Structure 1
Amino acid sequence: MGQNKNHSSAVSRHGNNAEQGGTEHAPLTLAVTGGKGGVGKTQVALNLALVLAKQGYRTLLLDGDVELANVNVMLGVYPGMTLEHVVLGERTLDEVLLPVTENLDLLPGASGVPGCLEMGSQDRETFLENLANLERRYDRVIIDTAAGLTSQALHMVAAAHLATIVVTPDPTSMTDAFSLVKVLHRKGYRRTPSVIVNMARGATEAQTIYRRFSAAVSRYIGVQLHYLGAIWRDETIAQSITTQRPVAMMAPEDPSCRQFWTLADMLTVRWSQGVQPANGFARYWARLVRRRHQRRQTGEAAGRQPSSEASINEWLNHFRERLSSSRDDPLLQYRLITGVLEALGEEIDEDRVEALQTGLAAMNWDAASNPVRRSAAAHFDQLARYVAPPGGTTPEEAMALSKGNGSSLDRLLSSIREND
Structure 2
Amino acid sequence: MSDTLPMVFSVTSGKGGVGKTNLSVNLACCLAAMGKRVVLVDADLGLANVDVILGLTPQKNIFHLFHEGASLREVLFATPYGFSILPASSGVGEMLALCTGQKLELLEVVGELEDELDYLVVDTGAGISDNVLYFNLAAQERLIVLTPEPTSLTDAYALIKVLKLTHGVEHFKVCVNMAQDQKIAREVFSRLYQACDHFLSGVSLELTGIIPRDPAVREAVVRQEPFCVSAPESPAARAVDRLATAITHWEPPRQTDGNIKFFWKKLLFG
Normalising by structure 2, report the TM-score.
Answer: 0.86
* Matches of 1:206 and 1:73, distance apart in 2: 28
Return the offset for 1:94.
0.5
More helix by share: 1
More strand by share: 2
Return the offset for 1:276.
9.7
**Backbone CA RMSD of aligned residues:** 2.9
Return the offset for 1:221.
1.6
Return the offset for 1:109.
2.1
Percent of aligned positions with the same letter in both sequences? 34
**Residue 50 in structure 1 maps to residue 29 in structure 2:** yes
Could you list the runs of 5+ residues in structure 1 that have no partner in the other structure? 1-21, 293-420
Deviations 1:278-323 (A, max 9, x none): 9666443x873xx69xxxxxxxxxxxxxxxxxxxxxxxxxxxxxxx
Match of 1:264, as an amino acid? A
- Is residue 6–residue 114 contact of structure 2 (8 Å, CA) maintained in 1? yes
Match of 1:151, as an amino acid? D
Q: Bigger relative contact order, structure 1 or 2, given CA contacts below 8 A and separation 6+?
A: 2
2:110 to 128, 131, 145: 131
* Matches of 2:262 and 2:47, distance apart in 1: 20
* Matches of 2:178 and 2:231, distance apart in 1: 21
Deviations 1:226-285 (A, max 9, x none): 10011101111022111101112246444332111111112223x14x76999666443x
Return the offset for 1:204.
1.0
**Residue 142 in structure 1 maps to residue 126 in structure 2:** no
Q: 1:24 to 1:82 in 2, by over 3 A?
A: farther
- Matched with 2:244 is 264
2:16 to 20, 25, 37: 37
SS in 1 for 2:164: helix
* Matches of 1:102 and 1:239, distance apart in 2: 18
* Matches of 1:92 and 1:28, distance apart in 2: 23
Q: 1:63 to 1:218 in 2, by over 3 A?
A: same
- Is residue 45–residue 125 contact of structure 2 (8 Å, CA) maintained in 1? yes
Matches within 5 A, 1:359-374: none
* Matches of 1:57 and 1:174, distance apart in 2: 32
Q: How many residues align?
A: 261
Deviations 1:124-171 (A, max 9, x none): 77x754431124311100000010001111111111110011111110
2:55 to 76, 82, 87: 76
Could you list the runs of 5+ residues in structure 2 that have no partner in the other structure? 90-94
- Matched with 2:101 is 117
* Mean Cα deviation higher: 146-155 or 182-191: 182-191
**Residue 187 in structure 1 maps to residue 171 in structure 2:** no
Larger Rg: 1
Normalising by structure 1, report the TM-score.
Answer: 0.57
1:202 to 181, 187, 190: 181
* Matches of 2:237 and 2:126, distance apart in 1: 24
* Matches of 1:27 and 1:80, distance apart in 2: 27
- Matched with 1:65 is 44
Matches within 5 A, 1:198-347: 198-222=177-201, 223-250=203-230, 252-269=232-249, 271-272=250-251, 282-284=263-265, 288=268
* Matches of 2:100 and 2:83, distance apart in 1: 25
Match of 1:185, as an amino acid? K
* Matches of 1:184 and 1:206, distance apart in 2: 23
SS in 1 for 2:113: helix
